[in-house]
Amino acid sequence: MDVKIEGSWKKRLSEEFEQPYFQELTDFIRQEYTTRQIFPPGKLIFHAFEQSPFDRTKVVILGQDPYHGPGQAHGLCFSVPDGIEQPPSLQNIFKEIEQDLGISTPSSGNLERWATQGVLLLNATLTVQANRAGSHQNRGWERFTDRVIRLLSEEKEHLVFILWGSFAQKKGDFIDRGKHLVLTSPHPSPLSSYRGFFGNQHFSKTNDYLKQHGLEPIQW
């Protein structure tokens, strides 16, 4: 099956694309885009992979669903395009960066500048119906993104995996802690951010780890 995805990822995921579950997922997604309003736009489903090729990925931030409001989702978890109001979780992420590193909150919530530095901004589910959070869960995306995480864990070393909230932490259970740094805390959502997200210092800890292993730190 010919899936339009960045070359270094396509090379590693080609066998996955031939699996029956992925064909079923593809058929479902095509039907959804034909009959409903689905986010992100179809050409941006694999945007995270385009922005952060396998060979350049050094940090993984794991989200759950794409944003389901108009104009918000563009294929990168927690990110919104230029000109779109920053959602509450993203506002809290920027607050923690300011507290941790002294970097002022930017006017745009577009995190492509992180992705192009090797931060894979991966949602567990890559599509969603408009205004229906979780509507594309349990259709096959989770199996696909588990495979992505497993490939990174097995084939690379000295990655930083950032897992916010119980969903991300459970999904990342199998990551090899002997080869990689796994950072966990409550989710940046306003419902949980004051239970330990604020003050987690994940951004400085990420950069310290990267520098310890001779890698360029992220300009957050």
65 is catalytic: yes
Per residue in 77-109, is it b (16+ CB within 10 Å) or e — as a string?
A: bbbbbeebebbebbebbbebbeebeeeeeeeeb
Backbone angles phi, psi at 160, to 5 degrees: -110, 120
The CA-atom distances, in angstroms, between 80 and each of 30, 38, 57, 75, 90 are 24, 16, 20, 9, 9
User: Which helix or strand (DSSP H or E) is residue 164 part of?
Assistant: strand 160-164
Catalytic residue among 65, 173, 176, 208: 65
Pairing of strands 59-63, 160-164: parallel
Catalytic residues: 65
